[in-house]
Structure 1
Amino acid sequence: MGVQLPLLALLACLNIAERNRSSLLETTIRSPKEWLRELEVAVESERLKNRIAELLEEYRGRAEVPGFRRGHVPTEVMARRFGPALESAAVEEIVEQAMAEALEQNGLKTAASVRLADLEVTPEKSIRFRVSVEIIPQFELKPYLGMKLTRPVPSGFDAEFERRVQELRIKCATYRAVPRPVREDDFVVIDYVVSDAGREVERKQNVMVEMAAAETPAELKAALTGSVAGDERAADIPIPGTSRTASYRLTVRDVKERLLPELDEEFARDLGFSGLDALRKAINDDILADRERSAEEELRKQVTGRLLADHEFEPPASLVTAGLERLLARSGLPDSNEVRTKLEPLATRLARLDCIISRIAEREGITLSDEDIAEEARRLAGETGRSEEEIARVAGSDEFRQQALRERVLRFIIDKAEVSGTKAAQ
């Protein structure tokens, strides 16, 4: 019949076992950077010897050795036949445990994967290895509750209303070919061939260029101005994100002018509204909603600016690198040293911000449930116009969870802040 220990006695035994295991571990730690720790770990031979003996005993019942019944293989035969494989398994297990214990003993919370190096098992069965680990730097959290924030009070509602009406008219516009040279407000249908350093890199047909658009390169506007259908022109146009240019060969196919519809009841009904008043109300509501979102974004910018200004430290290199890769992928710019150099300061700021956010979340007990993640996915889908299915495909990533945590913490700080100004209104 087994003996049942009282709970306190059982916990005491467990604590003694933990102390005994920890006593077989020695750690030396270096801090070459505030986000980097290098640990030299030594595990005494007793721990490996004990684990090998345990594995030999565990495996004895399953081992099949000619000349012996299962479960009755002598220890020396087991050691000779299976010792090296079991020792390898024991070393792997102990190293993993020892790394976790060393990190816990030194209060280190990792920001990236742990790198193991110089693993050595001595003839006496002691284990030595080195570990490099990136951590969230230790820094003092400055006061962040009760921030004084200013909600922007936008003006120019009428101008914004007219701009949106004009955008709708442009979307519904028709285009008419005109038999004359290209003017500054025309639309030009072209074919083009792009060469970079003498090598063709792109060829397209029937591309419509808006001469008055801000994004149309000045070099392209200059080449097309005054041309007529059938003309061939050339232009050297800068390659975004670089100091180089690409050569464009242009063929003008057509010159067109834009015809805008009148703002009347028929126009409103064509857009699916009951009439002009309903269209005006919808535009008005959209402006107010957009201004409220813009005001909230401005409050978030004020909070993040204050957090970054109050907490100066160097973030872990791996967080900066990961952030830089994400920025590069989203930018659509070519991957070059020049582009990376331009994006690195932003990646560093975001990495530092996420370290701060994580510390605040830990202090305030802010966590995210699966429903919180789903709610953030729905919010993003509504704000960006992307489908919930598209958002859901990335919602399980660490990046998305960090983004959701950032939003939750910023909202927490804004809710506790002293905010002056008023909500968006006409």
Structure 2
Amino acid sequence: MDVTQTTAEGLKREFRVVVPAADLETRLNDRLVRLKDQVRLNGFRPGKVPVAHLRKLYGRAVMAEAIEELVRETNAKIVTDNGFKLAMDPQVKMPEDKAEIEAVVDGKNDLAYTVALEVVPAIELADFKGVSLERLVVEVGPEEIQEALKRLADGNKPFSPKPEGSAGETGDRLTISFVGRIGGEPFEGGTGEDIQLVIGSGQFIPGFEDQLLGAKAGDTRTVSVTFPENYLAEKLAGKAAEFDVTVKSVEAPGEVAIDDDFAKKLGLESLAKLEEAIAERIKADYTAQSRQKLKRQLLDKLDELHKFEPPPTLVDEEFKAVWETVLSDLKTQNRTFADEGTDEEKARAEYRGIADRRVRLGLVLAEIGEKNAIKVTDEEISRAIIERARQYPGQEQQVWDFYRKNPGALASVRAPIFEEKVVDYILELATVTDRTVPKDELFKDDEQAAA
């Protein structure tokens, strides 16, 4: 077999492979000999079918299998011998002339084909001990705990029926049934029975609750609203609708005493324990936000420290996915590039840069993980799948089976775990300084922070 490199441009490599017909013949005979012990043909005892007869019956099919196997082996050898890391699957180009292909399959001609590869560049990792980062820290104050307690109490207020003939006011709870129509026709998801709605809570489409102010038990009202442009159900976004609403009951909110009894109703032994639990939850929210900002800082540093040209095919694929999302979001929101203060050409350049960054950072994180033997265990993957399954009560087994039977879905579980483990590894080496800040600064978005 003769393997010759014909192209080495940037990250693209191409090889021409020539396999003598004699080598193919040897492979064919080896496979036919193995096949002899497996096939059962009338008139022949098991294992006694002549190879020549098998060749007559199955020769072309077996030769095709032999060629396919040889190509796989040869591609793997090229990668191994050259120490390549591939950015994409090898692209094999076989002869296009039908007569030439027939001659190869019949064992009359040598097999000549080309294989194109795109490789990952060698990545020289920075010294992470020289990386300095700042972690934002927010202390949980007593006023935040009290505000959260009040919200919790408001969400657990008891409601009692108002006197007959009483009108609904802001804060009252109505039990309603409704039928929605668009263009005079009912639509999917537009019907509800015995739905509880607190006026002023913002549960429903903007304008819906306001039109029920003053409604009494037994009243029927026609509520006219327009679905928001960014409504999740794309078919309804921006559409005008009418709802025939029947008010079943009107209830007034009661007061909730924030005390030990209230805490016990929520499953905690005392108000002090409830306050501790609230403080821990708020602290967890702050820690998660702080981690997100710290990770963004770290990725920015990695971006600065590792400048190289990523494989074009990977960038193309990433850009395609990003661009499809951008166009979909614009369509859903009924907006244009002009509405975003740009044009399509500038937007393409911007998102192309984002795709380039994502690919480079992905390769850098992968290199760090590989060089430092960072692995994701089966146990970690199983825990993550279980957490996802818990989000679908009653369908846990189906979710579990879906991930376990779909390699792509399983990879989507593994990838974020791996990334977080690599980030943790770098943070252990880097110099991280804590800075206490107000809550508003922690939750200020990145664009505001940069302004």
Query: What is the TM-score when the length of structure 2 is the normalising length?
Result: 0.68
Question: What is the SS of the residue equivalent to 1:420?
Answer: strand
Aligned position for 1:234: 224
Residue 138 of structure 2 corresponds to residue 154 of structure 1: yes
Aligned residue for 1:402?
415
- 1:408 deviation in Å? 0.8
The equivalent position to 2:2 in structure 1, one of 24, 35, 58, is 24
Is the 1:187–1:209 Cα contact (8 Å) retained in structure 2?
A: yes
Matched, 1:316 2:314: yes
Structure-2 change in CA distance of 1:68 and 1:365 (3 Å): closer
Q: Distance in 1 between matches of 2:5 and 2:368?
A: 30
Q: How many residue pairs get matched? A: 395
- Identify the match of residue 86 of structure 1 among 51, 62, 74: 62
Q: 1:248 aligns with which of 220, 238, 241?
A: 241
Of 135, 146, 156 in structure 2, the residue corresponding to residue 172 of structure 1 is 156
Query: Cα deviations across residues 366-408 of structure 1 (Å, max 9, x unaligned)?
Result: 2233344456668x67x99999x67866478111111211111
* SS of the residue 1:316 aligns to: helix
Map of 1:201 onto structure 2: 188
Say which SS state the counterpart of residue 233 (structure 1) adopts. strand
Q: Which runs of 5+ in 2 are unaligned?
A: 338-347, 440-451
TM-score, length of structure 1 as denominator length: 0.71
Q: Which moved more, 1:269-278 or 1:138-147?
A: 138-147
Aligned-partner Cα distance in 1 for 2:171–2:28: 83
Task: Kindly indicate whether the alpha-carbon contact (under 8 Å) linking 2:160 and 2:252 is maintained by their aligned counterparts in 1.
Answer: yes
Shift of 1:418: 0.9
Secondary structure at the residue paired with 1:410?
helix
Decide whether the 8 Å contact of 1:172 with 1:260 is kept in 2: no
1:14-64 Cα distance to aligned partner (Å, 9 max, x none): xxxxxxxxx533354476x96x76666443434313312333444566678
Write the letter of the residue equivalent to 2:190.
R
For residues 52 and 20 of structure 2, the distance between their equivalents in structure 1, rounded to whole angstroms, comes to 23
* CA contact 1:173–1:261 (8 Å) conserved in 2: yes
Residues 189/118 of structure 1: CA separation in 2 closer, same or farther (3 Å cut): farther
Equivalent in the alignment of 1:126: 110
Distance change (3 Å), C-alpha of 1:68 and 1:168? closer
Which one of 396, 415, 419 corresponds to residue 428 of structure 2?
Answer: 415
Percentage of pairs with the same residue? 19
CA contact (8 A) 2:123 2:367 kept: no
Residues 208/284 of structure 1: CA separation in 2 closer, same or farther (3 Å cut): same
2:189 partner letter: E
Kept in 2, the 8 Å contact 1:231–1:252? The answer is yes
TM-aligned CA distance change 1:156 to 1:216, over 3 Å? farther
Q: Give 2:294's aligned residue.
A: 299
| Structure-2 separation of matches of 1:76 and 1:385 | 60
Worse overlay, 249-258 or 179-188:
179-188
1:154 positional shift: 1.0
Residue 207 of structure 1 aligns to a residue whose secondary structure is: strand
Say if 1:49 and 1:188 are closer, same or farther in 2 by CA, change over 3 A.
same
Contact residue 319 and residue 351 of structure 1 kept, 8 A: no
- Rate the CA distance shift 1:216–1:82 in 2: closer, same or farther, 3 A: closer
Q: Which moved more, 1:110-119 or 1:86-95?
A: 110-119
SS in 1 for 2:418: helix
Paired residue type of 1:48:
L
Deviation at 1:89, TM superposition (A): 2.2
Alpha-carbon offset, residue 115 of structure 1: 5.1
Match 1:267 to one of 257, 262, 267: 262
CA contact (8 A) 2:384 2:413 kept: no
Is the Cα contact below 8 Å between 1:220 and 1:237 reproduced in 2?
A: no
Match of 1:125, SS state, is: coil
Q: Distance in 2 between matches of 1:301 and 1:115?
A: 36
Distance 1:133 1:160 in 2: 57
- Once residues 187 and 135 of structure 1 are traced to their aligned partners in structure 2, the CA distance between those partners, rounded to angstroms, is 63
SS in structure 2 opposite 1:203? strand
Unaligned runs of 5+ in 1: 1-22
Task: Give the CA RMSD over aligned residues.
Answer: 4.9
Whether contact under 8 Å (1:367, 1:405) holds in the other structure is yes
Query: Measured at CA, do residues 77 and 139 of structure 1 come closer, stay the same or move farther in structure 2, by a change above 3 Å?
Result: same
Contact 2:16 2:112 in 1 (8 A): yes
How far residue 316 of structure 1 moved from its aligned partner, in angstroms, is: 1.4
